[in-house]
Amino acid sequence: MHPHVHRPSIVMAAALVALALASGCATESRRGPHAHSAPSSTPPSSVSPSPALTAQATSDLRDPAEVVSRNGLLRTTLVVERKKVPLAGRDVWALTYNGLYMPPTLRLRPGDRMEITFKNELDNQTNLHVHGMHVSPSGNSDNVFLAIEPGKTFEYSYTFPNSLEPGTYWYHPHPHTASAAQTAGGMSGIIVVDGLDTYLPASLRGITEHVIALKDFQLVGDRIKTQDLKMGAPTTRTVNGQLNPRIRIRPGETQLWRLANIGANIFYKVALPGSTFHVVARDGYPVNEVYAADTLVIPAGARYDVLVQGPEAGVTELQTLPYDTGKAGNQFPRATLATVLSAGEPTRPAALPTSFAPVDDLAKEPVAGRKTIVFTENADGTLFYINGRQFDHSRVDFRVKLNTTEEWTIKNDSDEVHSFHVHSNDFQVTSVNGKPQINRGFQDTVDVPPRGNIVIRSRFLDYPGKTVLHCHILNHEDAGMMAVLQIDE
């Protein structure tokens, strides 16, 4: 346990979780599968997914176990294997790290090193991506072009800069054509970079914090579905791998919640009715001004660190609200994520900060180059393109120069939302559909509206090498919506 984190005790469930049909399932788009068939360690099946699961809140939220850096080094082992795990009141086959559906949180500080012994016990190749982190894309570091074959062990080594921003990141596999299958199968976990408390007032340092990792799965019999994934199929949503856990908070108490969508494809529109999220970081980048939001749309891959203050005594549902990704996309239903129990001795709500961390403003930087990146797809939504081409790992699609700033226009010439993501360097969104955006800080994942566009600026610092940009709806990435970015010295 991290020394500055106070966790509530865990209340064990007295009985098995009650299972019932979900209140609704996402409706499918005009397309049939809206998916891409990918290799996986699970046998193929034409059986439809089981209905989504719901349950009463009978267990307290369990934060994942932590592996914490010591003396500037985080050293651990990740074993990838297909294993039967307890999940949502039953035992199911999943793709796991260290035999867990919700694997350890990796916790470090800016300037640390991380060494991971990575063992692949699957029957197909995989690799490891540390999503959102400013680190080398080459060698044994965040190199998504590596392929760790079945039965092989690989030594990953990362050296993070002192300038690494504090906040929430995550890790997941990134083998082309199998990223969705393996992530949806269960292979995803949280990374925390400490240091957010530097910007908090003294009265809010050491407050209770929770990982709120949003993971979803589709069941077929006793296994998590990994092939022929359909975004609109019945989907069970969990928090830290738990079905509707209970989150305890005292009336007026301030907690830090790390909201992270670490699933493969689907969207969350998160709300806590009667309460407000106070955003202090987005995508691992602290904001310059804390801002309030009643709802947060969190596409796959995105994260928000938020301050939450306990409501009046009682029970409230943490929900994902209905969300429509466009006429060629999906309509996701409302679902309960967790039950928030406000109880105990009330406390006077703390005064929350307004100004927060310093941020860069790339609008003031000279622009060394401009690029246009166009997302398109075929008529039935089975093939996806960037600038009219599908991904080819041997082809360089875009080149930039190290230590320069570029301005990119990302256009979405389709009738559904796509989520733009780039590795190694985050970016500043300057406009959406021509509307200038307030610069609250950088991010690494952003939604591009249907038939719309965004403009971003990015500065390429520290690390030359070959990396990628792509849609972070992993079904779309695996079906071609990814491109190679070469950062030249």
Tens-digit pLDDT profile for residues 96-145? 999 999 999 999 999 999 999 999 999 999 999 999 999 999 999 999 99
pLDDT at 26: 45
Distance (Å, rounded) from C-alpha 92 to C-alpha 49?
13
At residue 339, the 3 state secondary structure works out as strand
In sequence order, which residues have a C-beta less than 8 Å from that of residue 394 and are 6 or more positions away? none
CATH 3.40.47.40 assigned to 1-356: no
Are 302 and 258 in contact by the 8 Å Cβ rule? The answer is no
Q: Say which amino acid occupies 159.
A: T
pLDDT at 17: 33
Nearest residue to 204 (alpha-carbon basis) of 305, 316, 337, 123: 305
Task: Kindly list the domain boundaries of the chain, sorted by start residue.
Answer: 1-356, 362-488
Q: What is the DSSP letter of 294?
A: S
Burial class (CB in 10 A: 0-12, 13-18, 19+), 208: middle
pLDDT at 55: 75
pLDDT at 49: 80
Nearest residue to 270 (alpha-carbon basis) of 304, 236, 313, 229: 304
pLDDT at 470: 98
pLDDT at 47: 64
Domains 1-356 and 362-488 share a fold: yes
Structure tokens at 110: 């800016």
**pLDDT tens figures, 25-55:** 444 443 433 443 333 444 444 567 888 887 7
Structure tokens at 298: 């969190």
User: Please, what's the b/e burial string for 114-151 (b: 16 or more CB within 10 A of its CB; e: otherwise)?
Assistant: bebebbbbbebbbbbbbbbbbbbbbeebbbbbbebeee
Low-confidence ranges of the chain (pLDDT < 50): 1-45
HSE-up of 472 (CA within 13 Å, CB side)?
25
Are 466 and 137 in contact by the 8 Å Cβ rule? The answer is yes
Beta strands (DSSP E) in 88-230 are 90-97, 105-108, 113-120, 129-131, 153-159, 167-172, 189-193, 209-217, 219-220, 223-224
In sequence order, which residues have a C-beta less than 8 Å from that of residue 139 and are 6 or more positions away? 157
Q: What is the DSSP letter of 136?
A: -
pLDDT at 34: 44
CATH of domain 362-488: 2.60.40.420
Q: Residues, the chain, total? A: 489
